[in-house]
Amino acid sequence: MSESTITYTFLDLQDDVSEYMGQGRSPSDATTAKRRVNDAYRNFLTSHDWNFLKRSTVLTVEAGKWEYDLPDDFSEFVKPFYYPKDDSWFNLFERDEGYVMELRTGSGSTSGKPYVYALRNKDYSEGEGTRWEVIFHYQPDGTYTLLYTYRLMVNELVNDADLPVGGARYANMIRTYCLAEVENFDDEKVGVWTQKIPILMDRAVKMDNRNSARSLGTIGRGAGFDETDRRQDTLAYNDELL
198 and 231, same structural domain?
Answer: no
Q: Quick check: 73 and 53 in contact, CB under 8 A? A: no
88 and 113, same structural domain?
Answer: yes
174 and 135, same structural domain?
Answer: no
- Residue 159 belongs to some domain of the structure: no
Q: Which residues contact 162 (CB under 8 A, 6 or more apart)?
A: 9, 10
pLDDT in tens, 123-134: 877 777 789 999
127 and 81, same structural domain?
Answer: yes
**Number of domains, the chain:** 3
220 and 179, same structural domain?
Answer: no
The winner for highest mean pLDDT among 83-92, 201-210, 214-223 is 201-210
Averaged pLDDT, 201-224: 68
- Residue 1 belongs to some domain of the structure: no
67 and 24, same structural domain?
Answer: no
The DSSP output letter for 28 is S
202 and 149, same structural domain?
Answer: no
| Bond prior to 117 in cis (omega within 30° of 0) | no
- Residue 31 belongs to some domain of the structure: yes
Residue 173: C-alpha distances to residues 36, 40, 129, 153, 205 (Å): 15, 10, 29, 19, 11
- Residue 134 belongs to some domain of the structure: yes
Q: What's at 173, amino acid-wise? A: M
147: nearest Cα among 63, 232, 223: 223
Task: For residue 57, name the pLDDT band (cuts at 50, 70, 90).
Answer: very high
Q: Quick check: 174 and 50 in contact, CB under 8 A? A: no
The DSSP output letter for 118 is E
- Residue 77 belongs to some domain of the structure: yes
Q: Is the pLDDT of residue 218 over 70?
A: no
Among 153, 179, 200, where does a domain finish? 153
List the domain range (segments joined by +) for residue 140: 53-153
64 and 138, same structural domain?
Answer: yes
pLDDT of residue 89: 73
pLDDT in tens, 157-189: 999 999 999 989 999 999 999 999 999 988 777
195 and 132, same structural domain?
Answer: no
- Kindly state the percentage of the chain with pLDDT values over 70: 85
Rounded Cα distance between 242 and 222, Å, is: 18
Averaged pLDDT, 191-207: 94
Helix (H) or strand (E) holding 162: none
Among 129, 153, 177, where does a domain finish? 153
149 and 58, same structural domain?
Answer: yes
Q: What's at 50, amino acid-wise? A: W
- Residue 97 belongs to some domain of the structure: yes
